[in-house]
Amino acid sequence: MESSRTAWGWGLASISATGDTLDVWYPKLALGEMPEPSARPNHEFGNLIHDDADARGVRRIPVFTVSRLDDPIEDAADAYARLHLLSMRLAQPNTLNLDGIFAALTNVVWTNYGPFAVQDYGQRKMDVIQAASRNGFGTVADVNVLSIDKFPRMVDYVVPTGVRIGNADRIRLGAYLSEGTTVMHEGFVNYNAGTLGTSMVEGRISQGVVVGDGSDIGGGASIMGTLSGGGKHRVSIGEHSLLGANAGIGISLGNHCAVEAGLYVTAGTKITIYDKARIAAGEPLDIVKGAELSGKDHILFIRNSMSGAIEARSRSKGIELNAQLHTNA
């Protein structure tokens, strides 16, 4: 993304009976100024295109999209292009203008037969099953609803190399997963969020959050995002840091940090700065808000089991992940 702020490519759009764009799949996207119309490559969708509606009431048509990445999102095709760029690793989280994405996207019934419009789903489900029966498929699989949402699963559109994903339902299109990332079954990664290197994800990575190389998000852990009134600070986790099981943060962690299991640290949390020299001298310890420690390196956040106070202690070395668990060839 350093040399250009424009992306372009052919997508295959699903259009509902009312003209809404349900989704757009981009097999390839390119960065840089778009070519002249005479120099555009062919889309190569072939017989995947159908101008007449299928049993879902959906038409599939090719669309050529040019996305001006610093401008607000123009429409659903533009929104899907930017989500693909993130999951294709062509743009890192927080580098694209995503203003207007919720208004551009339509709420969709995501199923094993593809996207359906919400409004006429009941009738269209019956039409799909009847059509499959008429085509002689024998025992016909029922329509299985995977979710009702504006964002689909990433893996139905982009499958990045060098990653393991325990539960594909929990990775939205627009997630950025670097090579060496392992997302366990209860891990979740939202759009415009993800990992910047080898990482273990067993907890929740919210929109806008990035996790550095060699870090571990423990089971049940949560990282505060900026949606739904979560504030404006974009939380990040540095390299070789650990967010313990069932822990949470609303501040950023620097490199070589750790938050003990079950501890939630926010910007307003009162934290005691543990200092052996001051304790030995009988001097009082400093107490600061969590925001003052946001993004700083080599800190262990821990709750004192005797006093119950939350403490920040010096930590000389970060964690090292098991390399065998992250060789995802």
Rounded to whole angstroms, the Cα distance separating 163 from 199 reads 10
In sequence order, which ranges of the chain are alpha helices (DSSP H)? 76-87, 101-104, 121-134, 276-280
Please, are residues 149 and 107 in contact by the beta-carbon 8 Å criterion? yes
Catalytic residue numbers read 202
Total-model pTM: 0.93
Show pLDDT as tens, one digit a residue, over the chain (329 residues): 444 599 999 999 999 999 999 999 999 999 999 888 888 899 999 999 999 999 999 999 999 999 999 999 999 999 999 999 999 999 999 999 999 999 999 999 999 999 999 999 999 999 999 988 877 655 667 899 999 999 999 999 999 999 999 999 999 999 999 999 999 999 999 999 999 999 999 999 999 999 999 999 999 999 988 765 456 788 999 999 999 999 999 999 999 999 999 999 999 999 999 999 999 999 999 999 999 999 999 999 999 999 999 999 999 999 999 888 888 87
DSSP 239-256: TT-EE-TT-EESS-B-TT
Enumerate the β-bridge partners of residue 171: 189
Closest CA to 220 of 254, 252, 253, 187: 187
Closest CA to 41 of 56, 57, 62: 62
pLDDT tens per residue across span 282-315: 999 999 999 999 999 999 999 999 999 999 999 9
Closest CA to 176 of 135, 223, 211: 211
